[in-house]
Amino acid sequence: MNGAEALIRTAVAAGIDVCFTNPGTTEMQLVGALDAVPEMRAVLGLFEGVCTGAADGYGRMTGKPALTLLHLGPGFANGIANLHNARRAHTPIVNLIGDHATWHLANDPPLASNVESLAWSVSAWVRTTKSARELPADAAEAIAAALTPPGGAATLVVPNDCAWDEVAGPARPVLPGAARRVPDSAVEAAAAALGGDAPSALLLGGAGLREAELLRAAAIAERTGCQLVCDTFIARLERGGSLPVVTRLPYFPEQVREFLSEISQLVLCGAGEPVSFFGYPDGVGRPTPDGCQVVELAAADTDIGAALDALAERLGAGVVPARVPGERPAAPTGALHPGTIGQALAALQPENAIIMDESATTGFAYGAVSTNCPPHTLLGLTGGAIGQGLPCATGASLACPERPVIAFQADGSGMYTLQALWTQAREGLDVTTLICANREYRILRVELGRAGIAEPGPTAESLTSLRDPALDWVSLARGMGVPGVSVDTAEALVKALEGAFAEPGPHLIEAVF
């Protein structure tokens, strides 16, 4: 077999079964190999940012990497923004970048560029294969690297001749590195921080936001009185039903500072110390106030579940009774605004939904009203690179075809990678996209004010506006084979959500407000 087929067979042997791709000429042997190895499902994206964002969503939901198969430096570059988000989420992904034949690079053909320097910006591991003979083993190592805690992107550059030359066969899987064990001293320090009388909080991230870990954290909270907190933007959070409620940190640094001013001991478990999303002239880079002591229990690359177990045991925290959820909100009526949009979603989201939240300013209201919804998974915009939502929802749906997926999506961000709708249509995915159409980059209107531009001039107004002309998301969706409807009242939104949730396949709802 050729190197390409050996590579795909190596990935299948390691348990990988989906490849998100937009291939080009240098990937033709790999495309041929995808036909030869039907255990690998190939999914076409019409833009590389769709492929990488889908791989992120898939990896967050399954814990295992998808392949991306991308075309040289420029094709990979188109996928970098969503790989940036994946990097911040520690999502395992294996990127395959087809490149020119090894002997051709020195001729500097038009599509040549410095692929590795692009790859390193978002990858935990990068290698350029030197010969077909080394390709299967390189692939096995890439997969192991992607899965080594805390998880990340491993990027393998595959020169075309390495794909077309003959090889002996696939390589055996390589064992990923193990999660670090948290030292007893860290458990001791965390127990001291939480066990005293001072107000404390446990800041959870990564695996700390999964069901078993959350229940353990709730027991610790029950025992010590600490709050359970998570970052504003999380990779994945299990919530709703009888799961404990975790408080999201607010967004702006002065809000974080105020929030933490009532905490004396902050214990980190799978999350880093809070960092200002942006710096402002007040100079606050890390908003933790002086009076708040930060103690690290478990870094991202540790066994977070074991760390929580050890801490619970040390504190004598038992099993906590399941939370009795309150009423979920009723369906709203009246005008659309962030409150009614969030309420409509919370009132209607189906059991076991996956919600990809890139709703930006519109969505902050949703968090508070959705704690009593049926169990659901929330995926967040971890790296701040907009354009994650539609692709990530696409990948999450491919990972969990039996679960309804909701892309709760700001309009400005959605335009970055709208091509994902086509993949949803082609694959028949059960994704409901709810476009929050305020027809502005509204966060930037806020940020203009924070930058001292209280009265934006016509240029600032224009550069933060999505009007003139207004986007028509129903037409955009139709153009890619996704049925859509536009609504401008809460009643119509409720009806549209009910319709979308009742029918399988992709739907788009444009909520104009």
Contact between residue 423 and residue 43 where contact means Cβ atoms under 8 Å apart: yes
Contact between residue 408 and residue 389 where contact means Cβ atoms under 8 Å apart: yes
Residue 44 C-beta: closest distance to a copy of itself, Å = 5
- The residue (of 154 and 385) whose beta carbon lies closer to a copy of itself is 385
Residue 221 C-beta: closest distance to a copy of itself, Å = 26
In the window 199-238, what residues touch a copy of itself (CB under 8 A)?
233
339: tokens are: 């409150």
Would the CA dihedral through 377, 382, 388, 389 be positive or negative?
Answer: positive
Contact between residue 154 and residue 25 where contact means Cβ atoms under 8 Å apart: no
Kindly indicate which of the ranges 180-188, 272-280, 314-322, 338-346 contains the residues binding a copy of itself, using the contact rule CB under 8 A: 272-280
Counting every residue written for the chain, the total comes to 513
Residues 280-319: x where in contact with a copy of itself by CB under 8 A, - otherwise, as a string: xx-x-xx---------------------------------
Residue 320 C-beta: closest distance to a copy of itself, Å = 32
| Alpha carbon distance 431, 421 (integer Å) | 9
* Residue 219 host element (H or E): helix 211-224
Based on the shown chain and the rule CB under 8 A, indicate whether residue 480 belongs to the binding site for a copy of itself: yes
Residues 382-421: x where in contact with a copy of itself by CB under 8 A, - otherwise, as a string: xxxx-x------------------------x--xx-xx--
Q: Which of 169, 177, 196, 279 binds a copy of itself (CB under 8 A)?
A: 279
Based on the shown chain and the rule CB under 8 A, indicate whether residue 255 belongs to the binding site for a copy of itself: no
139: left (phi over 0), alpha (psi -120 to 50) or beta: alpha
Based on the shown chain and the rule CB under 8 A, indicate whether residue 21 belongs to the binding site for a copy of itself: yes
Based on the shown chain and the rule CB under 8 A, indicate whether residue 39 belongs to the binding site for a copy of itself: no
Kindly indicate which of the ranges 21-29, 55-63, 203-211, 494-502 contains the residues binding a copy of itself, using the contact rule CB under 8 A: 21-29
Contact between residue 163 and residue 133 where contact means Cβ atoms under 8 Å apart: no
Based on the shown chain and the rule CB under 8 A, indicate whether residue 473 belongs to the binding site for a copy of itself: yes
Kindly indicate which of the ranges 32-40, 130-138, 290-298, 364-372 contains the residues binding a copy of itself, using the contact rule CB under 8 A: 32-40
The secondary structure of the chain in percent helix, strand, coil, rounded to multiples of 5, reads 45, 20, 40
Based on the shown chain and the rule CB under 8 A, indicate whether residue 47 belongs to the binding site for a copy of itself: yes
| Alpha carbon distance 123, 125 (integer Å) | 5
Q: Which of 1, 12, 13, 31 binds a copy of itself (CB under 8 A)?
A: 31
SS3 state at 335: strand
